Amino acid sequence: MEEKCNAVVPVQKNPRGKFVGCQQRQMIINLYISKMTEQATLPVQRHLKYIDLIKLMSQEIGIGQRTISTTLSEYRRKGTITSPNRKKVRPKLTDKVNESDKNAIRRKIHEFWHRREIPTFEKIMASINNDPSLTNFSRSSFQLLLKDLNFVYTKIKRNNALSERGDIVCWRQKYLESIRYYRNCGRQIYYLDESWISVEETSKSVDTTIQSEQKNPSVKGKKLIVVHIGSSDGFVDGGLLAFESKDNSSDNHDEMDDDTFYEWFSSILSLLKDNAVIVMDTALYHSVKKHTFPHISWKKDKIITWLENNGKLIHRPMVKHQLLEEAEQFRTVCEKYVIDELAKENNKIVLRIPPYHSELNPIELAWSFVKQHVKTNNTTFTLTDVQKLLHEGVERVTPLMWKNYINHVIKVEDKFFELDFIIDELLEAELAEPSALHIVTLSGDVSDSESEFDG
């Protein structure tokens, strides 16, 4: 009997990345069972190989081979199928905006204050959206970003001035006072930071200004994660750490972990001058607490054990909030950082720059120079050659260049110091009476109407 030949008619392919639901997965199983039944009626030499069977099924139903393969693997392993999770982990808006743009937005707000002009939400949003180098934002998205950047509304009369939260202002002023004090004392100040070097970038994308420094690289592909430390004497010999990115994360901070940084930091302490000051940012792995501290998610037994280990015996029944209140007396001790304590043991101290203040770190300018050198001379796009260019670039950053970078940052520090006093002066000048000023956190819709800011 002559076998009838049926031509496979291609169907429309399922769009790449489109959710494949339970019904489609069941269709894969049904088709597979049908194909295997057909195979059983044919001579062994006519049986399709498994990979060819998957290709044929993909052509017939338009679902990708990988999806078919994983579905069949689960079915053959478990005898059933499950519907995949429809929910996708989507990055938050604040994660999509790179640190360079965040700094640029903050600088625009500060420029208004320096011009002695009140920066309202509408003015700042218009300025950002009219800047071709920055992303356009909707009102709600921009409001979320401002909140992430630690800005609040200071309501004065019918104006809604944007200024940073009080704790950030205090942090900045304390940092500026401390760094000036240590300079006057003649203590050596070292600056450290992490960055990234793309293996696939060329000089066409070079921008040597500090504004171009991005913590969220847009270029995909291989890259080196690098960390170094330097001072007015130049980069510290033996202080460079460079390793290949493992998962091409959009943020080089995701590539560094607590153990890697701790090991590197431990190794460079002996290379620094005695009684030195080490300046760094607030990355999570820079700020690992030496001791855990109780919080509301802990069980009561665990909190009680923690309190007793710290010398506080609990003699009567207490609710969880009472136990947490008892723990507050130990907060100062427990908020010590691992890195800070390690530095103290080596007769050095750590000084942290406030969040989103990378322009206060002169190593950012040094990294820009190093990246320019790599991009300008990168012709092979191989990891080995880029590593060589990285070391060459670091060696080309002279002590004189470091001194110039630090002098530039000192001017930036002076502007920041002046900024907070200008804001105080302008806000007080706008006040009709002391009660006319109050702070409003960034939540809800933004409006100039008074009612939307009350309560």
Of 56 and 250, which is predicted with more confidence?
56
Instruction: Tell me the pLDDT of the chain averaged across its residues.
Output: 82
d(CA 151, CA 444): 14
Helices (H), 41-116: 50-61, 65-78, 93-96, 99-114
| pLDDT cut 90: percent of the chain above it | 42
Q: Which of 57-66, 161-170, 345-354, 397-406 has the lowest mean pLDDT?
A: 57-66
Give the pLDDT of residue 90: 65
pLDDT digits (tens, 9 = 90+) for 272-289: 999 999 999 998 888 887
- Above 80 in pLDDT, residue 432? no
Give the pLDDT of residue 33: 84
d(CA 1, CA 94): 68
For every residue of 332-398, DSSP letters joined together read HHHT-BHHHHHHHHTT-EEEEPPTT-GGG-THHHHHHHHHHHHHHH--S--HHHHHHHHHHHHHHS-
Cα angle vertex 136, ends 121, 166, to 5°?
35
Q: Which of 182-186, 200-204, 316-320, 378-382 has the lowest mean pLDDT?
A: 200-204
- Above 90 in pLDDT, residue 377? yes
Model pTM score = 0.69
Give the pLDDT of residue 208: 39
Largest CA distance in the chain: 102
Which residue(s) pair with 277 in the sheet? 189, 349
Contact 374, 393 (CB under 8 A): yes
- Above 90 in pLDDT, residue 112? yes
Mean pLDDT of 117-145: 91
Name the pairing type of β-strands 234-235 and 223-231: antiparallel
Distances (CA, A) of 133 to 101, 114, 352, 357: 9, 22, 29, 20
- Above 60 in pLDDT, residue 50? yes
Q: Which of 25-34, 325-334, 434-443 has the lowest mean pLDDT?
A: 434-443
- Above 50 in pLDDT, residue 165? yes
pLDDT digits (tens, 9 = 90+) for 294-319: 888 888 888 888 888 888 888 888 89
Give the pLDDT of residue 14: 62
- Above 70 in pLDDT, residue 69? yes
- Above 50 in pLDDT, residue 192? yes
d(CA 385, CA 242): 13
Work out the pLDDT band at 435, boundaries 50, 70, 90. low
Give the pLDDT of residue 342: 94
Q: Which residue has the tokens 């420094």?
A: 213
CB atoms within 10 A of CB 438: 11
Give the pLDDT of residue 194: 94
pLDDT digits (tens, 9 = 90+) for 85-108: 555 556 677 778 888 889 899 999
Distances (CA, A) of 60 to 9, 10, 64, 371: 7, 6, 11, 50
d(CA 32, CA 39): 10
d(CA 288, CA 259): 10
CATH architecture of the domain covering 189-407: 2-Layer Sandwich (3.30)
d(CA 439, CA 445): 16
Give the pLDDT of residue 448: 39
Mean pLDDT of 237-251: 79
In angstroms, the first-to-last Cα distance of the chain is 86
Give the pLDDT of residue 6: 43
Highest mean pLDDT among 3-17, 234-248, 252-266: 234-248
Give the pLDDT of residue 182: 97
Sequence-ordered list of residues with C-beta below 8 angstroms from that of 347, at least 6 positions apart, any chain:
274, 275
Residues of the chain with CATH 3.30.420: 189-407
Give the pLDDT of residue 212: 38
Work out the pLDDT band at 408, boundaries 50, 70, 90. very high
Give the pLDDT of residue 11: 55
- Above 60 in pLDDT, residue 205? no
